[in-house]
Amino acid sequence: METEIPKVYSPESIEPHWARIWVDEKLYRPVEDASRPRFSLVIPPPNVTGSLHIGHMLEHTEIDILMRWHRMRGDDVLWLPGTDHASIATQMIVEQELGREVLPEMEGRSSAAAAWRREGQRRRLEMGLDKFMERCWQWKEQSGGRIRRQMERLGASVDWTRERFTMDADYSRAVLEVFSRLYREGLIYRGTYIVNWCPRCGTAVSDLEVAHEERPGKLWYIRYPFEDGSGYVTVATTRPETMLGDTAVAVNPADDRYRNAVGRRLVLPLLKRVIPIVADDFVDPGFGTGAVKVTPAHDPNDFGIATRHNLEQLKILDEKALMTEAAGPYKGLDRYKARERVLDDLRAEGLLEKEEDYPLSVGVCSRCKTVVEPLLSKQWFMKMQPLAEPAIRAVEDGRIRIVPENYRKIYLDWMYNIHDWCISRQLWWGHRIPVWTCEQCGEEIVSADLPKACSKCSGSKLRPETDVLDTWFSSALWPFVTLGWPEETDDLRRYYPTDLMIMGFDILFFWGARMIMMGLKFMNDVPFRELYIHALVRDAERQKMSKTKGNVIDPLEVTEKYGTDAVRFALAISAAPGTDIAFSYDKIESYRAFANKIWNAGRFILMNLEKLGPEARKRVAAATGSAARDAFVPLPTGPTLELADRWIFSRLATVSREIEEALADYRFHEASYKIYHFFWHEFCDWYLEWVKPEITRPLGPEDSCNAWVNLLRVFESALHLLHPFMPFITEELWHRLPNRDAEVSISRTPFALVTAQAANPDAEKDFENIRTLVVAARNAKAEAGLQKEKVAARAATEDSALLNLFDVHQETILRLAGLESLDLISGRLETGTHVTAAFEFQLLYEKKIDLGAERSRLGKERAKLEQALERVKKQLENRNFLDRAPQDVVQATESRRTELESQFQKVVESLERLG
RNA sequence: AGGCCCGUAGCUCAGUCUGGUUAGAGCGCUACCUUGACACGGUAGAGGUCAACGGUUCGAGUCCGUUCGGGCCUACCA
């Protein structure tokens, strides 16, 4: 053991060391022991788009706390790591990189990202599929490596031997297998429908990938003349340019205003196309004029109307959001330019009746913020209702528990109203849809493997599908494919269903819901038994963190500055379920201080242990034993110390239980607060101070070393409780304790070393009485301005047991309170400076007592007590309370009254004596 | 258009599910202390009509309703 332990804890010299060892020793592989309870979790795979952010760190901290806790309880724990190929997000980044290479001069400009991406898209097309994929793989290697290094540095106790990636060869094979099975069952189909199309990304996206933004807009009223020239119908629209694609006008069949209009024909302004008026229930007579222009190719509702009425679908916008041939003279115009021109022309023809301000919510691409275009397009879809039903039941009947509970309702609401899922993407990076079309007979061949010939006509010219799958299609399979599906592996048998999933709310539908559906579909069982939704980490101003705002926190940067343990602890103690976290450096600093406190407590103990000399040290080490063999109960140490030992072991028993209860319910903030408070304000502030004389004294050959044994066992127990929260510092200190040579890691030892048997209410009560006396004395000294001096004092009580307690521990009391002497008096004092329910306390000193100050303090206390007493009395006089409140509450209130009354009485008397 | 969350000390938040001591913590603030673990420390203290109003109850920060203020989500509202 080093003799020099630095005074200030420096995590940077310790954390990387242990991080390395934990990985090299493959410490966190599951034990694969069937006799043990199992606890498995697959990581929410981070996207290989860059590096981990502080939100990941929170997620990994929460998971790691639970994993380390379960492991220390002796469970067979699997935490499976891995990453997601993140099809669209990664492709965007790689394109951006390609652009950056040739346009370095844009660096730093606000428009850089968009310009790089445009250029990158051009370069992608130029280099072709194979070269581009190569670039993506390069990027994936870089980013994946970075993520792995970050996780190692954060101490995530994952099993790296089971690391997976959603585009690993066997994973991809499984994805295609799932596709073909769903296709064969008719749950995947191809069709031409309205989809959300992002003109900038050049692909369809799902409903979930569209963000809604409230923007000021206008409602334009346009006149559509009747074909026979007998007037017109006015329609209201927010998108006048789409009128070029109108193939009807619809009204509600019950709308009297248009009763006679239905079936008649209108002339579409500008293009002069003749279109019918149809009646459809969808139309709300109360909105606008009650007449709706119908643009089947560019609006999902209109598409529905068109299907019902067999209307023509006219595509007037193309995939770049430019007007098509069908738009006649407007061909080639951008959609917004076209809007202006259409409005101008309508005005010129006198057909624009009026315009009104109208706020509207526009859908934008969640990736690039471009306004998405509802577009008629041939895409692949997944039928969701049949898959959703079992997934709804699994949550309703409790096979999956969602925490916090309000997310359960949100999940169910979404699932009840689920729509089919557009799963094809016009991208390159991702899983190719396993479909081939025979160029000879047009047959569609779906197969997980590359087909050699057409299954119908044996033709060999097969054209492969070029679309890839939505990235969430493969993520949905994560819990079972990572464990080996479709093979029936041991891992799959043993670790599926997983026990827990932890994720942010933002991906509950994207990922959570779809995993549940796919798990039930392909494994016939839920993918996880519990789903915990964690909080969002915001910046100090509660803003969402984003690159564009420049308020993102890099986990590596803060951990390097403050230490991983401090950041982990700050996150954990802020993580109240259902509440977002405001990230602040102040907070992290205060938990760095906590790490330093732990370090110095350890330093103090180890330093004094060192001072004992080799012989005594050996004796202490042998007697301390190890948690694996010995029950951790307080050993006898003689009357003055025994109380402290019995008290701290009792507290340890309670705190262990409370931490476990909190963790079982994902109350990370509560669990971390309990151990924080215990370590600092009980173990350090009171226990260590109490036993200090004993352990700073040389230990003779004949002396009992029980005090040392108790101290080491308490300290060790505390390190165990702390370990899931602060793995590095606890590992380091634990290894410096005696008898640790043969053991690899604290993470492989039991969590709670002190069991419930150590609970000792009597010791806790005695300790509280002494603490109260010490605090009263310190308080009195501070008030008298005598902090520096040793002062004589006296205490009085009628309780002889208490008097005896104070007497036995007199030495400790004098030392902790800074008193010179303490006279113990049976009975009452003529004036009691400090009055508690149990005793009176008074300083004896030369200086004149400041009667005014004393009177005012006692007066304040009297008022406080009076108020409390008043309330209690009123309650006890209330018949209803006595009749209706539970007996134990009534009893507690009664004894409280007695206590308050006696205290009040004493304060009053003291005041009277003061005159 | 529906739904959810938040409003508690100067600041950041626990506590509300499961109603019952004199409502807690961290930071900040005040006073004192460099006492051989720790000044990233110690000791003592100041600071809150728990957003407002109404209701239920013997009893409300906690349950119910309404209002105000802030945030978020879902949605095929022309």
Looking at residue A14, the DSSP 8-state letter turns out to be T
What pLDDT, on a 0 to 100 scale, did the predictor assign at position A891?
82
Q: Give the CA radius of gyration of chain A.
A: 37
Closest nucleotide to A605 by C1' from CA = B37
Closest nucleotide to A361 by C1' from CA = B77
Q: Which residues contact A791 (CB under 8 A, 6 or more apart)?
A: A781, A784, A818, A819, A820, A843, A844, A845
Question: Nucleotide B21: nearest residue by CA–C1'?
Answer: A896
Q: What's the Å distance between residue A889 CA and nucleotide B20 C1'?
A: 7
**A281-333: pLDDT as tens digits:** 999 988 889 999 999 999 999 999 999 999 999 999 999 999 999 999 999 99
CA-wise closest residue to A279 among A258, A301, A307, A300: A258
Q: What's the Å distance between residue A405 CA and nucleotide B17 C1'?
A: 10
Closest nucleotide to A287 by C1' from CA = B78
Q: Which two tokens stand for residue A641?
A: 């110390």
Closest nucleotide to A566 by C1' from CA = B40
**Counting every residue, how long is chain A?**
915
Closest nucleotide to A602 by C1' from CA = B37
Question: Nucleotide B24: nearest residue by CA–C1'?
Answer: A673
Q: How many CA atoms lie within 13 A of A420 on its CB side?
A: 17
Q: What's the Å distance between residue A163 CA and nucleotide B20 C1'?
A: 52
Q: What's the Å distance between residue A214 CA and nucleotide B74 C1'?
A: 14
CA-wise closest residue to A92 among A50, A54, A127: A50
Q: Which two tokens stand for residue A283?
A: 């139309």
Q: What's the Å distance between residue A659 CA and nucleotide B4 C1'?
A: 29
Q: What's the Å distance between residue A671 CA and nucleotide B49 C1'?
A: 32
Q: What's the Å distance between residue A491 CA and nucleotide B62 C1'?
A: 46
* Residue numbers in chain A where pLDDT is lower than 50: 1-2
Residue labelled with tokens 């099809």? A87
Q: What's the Å distance between residue A186 CA and nucleotide B38 C1'?
A: 69
CA pair distance A140, A84, nearest whole angstrom:
9
Closest nucleotide to A414 by C1' from CA = B74
What pLDDT, on a 0 to 100 scale, did the predictor assign at position A1?
40
Q: What's the Å distance between residue A269 CA and nucleotide B54 C1'?
A: 59
Question: Nucleotide B35: nearest residue by CA–C1'?
Answer: A788
CB contact at 8 A, A154 and A11: no
Range list of H helices, A81-219:
87-102, 112-153, 169-184
- Going edge to edge, which strands form the sheet with A834-835? A819-826, A791-797, A840-844, A834-835
CB contact at 8 A, A204 and A196: yes
Greatest distance between any 2 Cα atoms in chain A: 120
What pLDDT, on a 0 to 100 scale, did the predictor assign at position A536?
83
What pLDDT, on a 0 to 100 scale, did the predictor assign at position A846?
65
CA pair distance A758, A484, nearest whole angstrom:
46
Residue A82 gets the label, from left (phi > 0), alpha (psi -120 to 50) or beta, of left
What pLDDT, on a 0 to 100 scale, did the predictor assign at position A297?
95
Closest nucleotide to A687 by C1' from CA = B37
Question: Nucleotide B71: nearest residue by CA–C1'?
Answer: A542
Closest nucleotide to A419 by C1' from CA = B76
What pLDDT, on a 0 to 100 scale, did the predictor assign at position A2?
43
Q: What's the Å distance between residue A696 CA and nucleotide B36 C1'?
A: 10
Closest nucleotide to A595 by C1' from CA = B40
CA-wise closest residue to A760 among A655, A679, A647: A647
Q: What's the Å distance between residue A779 CA and nucleotide B32 C1'?
A: 12
What pLDDT, on a 0 to 100 scale, did the predictor assign at position A389?
95
3-class state of residue A147 by DSSP: helix
Question: Nucleotide B2: nearest residue by CA–C1'?
Answer: A413
Q: What's the Å distance between residue A652 CA and nucleotide B46 C1'?
A: 33
Closest nucleotide to A206 by C1' from CA = B76
Question: Nucleotide B28: nearest residue by CA–C1'?
Answer: A586
List bases, strand B, within 7 Å of protein CB: 3-6, 12-15, 20-22, 25-27, 31-34, 37-45, 57-59, 72-78
Looking at residue A298, the DSSP 8-state letter turns out to be S
Question: Nucleotide B78: nearest residue by CA–C1'?
Answer: A237
Please state whether the predicted TM-score (pTM) of the whole model is above 0.80.
yes
Q: What's the Å distance between residue A398 CA and nucleotide B64 C1'?
A: 28
What pLDDT, on a 0 to 100 scale, did the predictor assign at position A900?
79
**A87-116: pLDDT as tens digits:** 999 999 999 999 999 999 888 888 888 899
CA pair distance A906, A914, nearest whole angstrom:
12
Closest nucleotide to A536 by C1' from CA = B72
CA-wise closest residue to A450 among A439, A438, A440, A435: A435
Q: What's the Å distance between residue A670 CA and nucleotide B16 C1'?
A: 15
